[in-house]
Amino acid sequence: MSLESAKDTESLLFSRMLQDKRILVTGGSRGLGRAFCEVFVEHGAKVAFTYRRNEEAAAETVALTKEKGFEAKSYKISVLDEPGLLKTVKELEAEWGAVDILVNNAGVTQNLPFALMDTEDWDFVMDTNVKGTYLATKAVLRGMIRQKAGVILNIGSLAGVRIIEAPVHYCASKAALRGLTESLAKEMSRYQIRVNLLAPGLLEAGVGQNLPDYKLADYLQHNSLGRVGTFDEVARFAAFLISDANTYMSGETVIMDGGL
């Protein structure tokens, strides 16, 4: 086989590496969650996503996925609504037959110093980022155990694995996801369920938007690539992580930060 033929074969393989996979994304109405939905559909997946309140943004995500060949299903539901999550997963299992992949993307932060943080602030971030991941995972896990297959990708943050200046409750919540990922990967290994954590650095929008200019400048100065990442870059790497092209990775934290 010529080098050109090999490259063509590789291109075809990775162009549809999520073909017929059934994926649930939490927090898919905008930002990184929307990029996940768009990219996964491009790779041939059936996609459903949850969102908390912005119906207009959710409708835009649905429209964008439809343009790419599959109209994603949207569910207006909080990741803290356990009965609602269970109902959503049952509906998807009834229609699709199973949920193969869960991407725990829903998350929040607040730009608050620790000394001014109220208990309600701490609970809001920890509940959404950690308990929400637990509840969404619990909702899909029985189905994955029955089919003895499945992939769970938790979306963490550089703030959860490195010592950087960021809101303490956000850092704590993202660090907790690392422990959850490693422990669950070990427990679920007997069922051939893979669990990994993807920890991006600063991206084009989202958390990075709230940074003062001097903090952003400091980040870029120490970043090997000299820039923030894009949602599309992270989503395309995530597509590989959850695909059958990556079957020998579980319990891992993958940092994607441009080289700090």
The pLDDT score that the predictor gives to residue 214 is: 82
Taking alpha carbons only, the member of 140, 65, 138, 49 closest to residue 100 is 140
Domain covering 16-256 in this structure, CATH number: 3.40.50.720
Q: Pairing relation of β-strands 253-256 and 73-76?
A: unpaired
The pLDDT score that the predictor gives to residue 1 is: 42
Q: Which of 134, 170, 219, 248 is catalytic?
A: 170
Which residue ranges make up each domain of the chain? 16-256
The pLDDT score that the predictor gives to residue 2 is: 46
Looking from the CA of 45 toward its CB, the CA atoms found within 13 Å total: 31
Residue 170 appears among annotated catalytic residues = yes
Residues pairing with 152 in the sheet: 102, 195
State how far Cα 16 lies from the chain centre: 19
The pLDDT score that the predictor gives to residue 207 is: 65
The pLDDT score that the predictor gives to residue 13 is: 52
Q: What is the pTM of this model?
A: 0.93
Q: Which regions of the chain are under pLDDT 70?
A: 1-14, 207-210
The pLDDT score that the predictor gives to residue 208 is: 63
The pLDDT score that the predictor gives to residue 14 is: 60
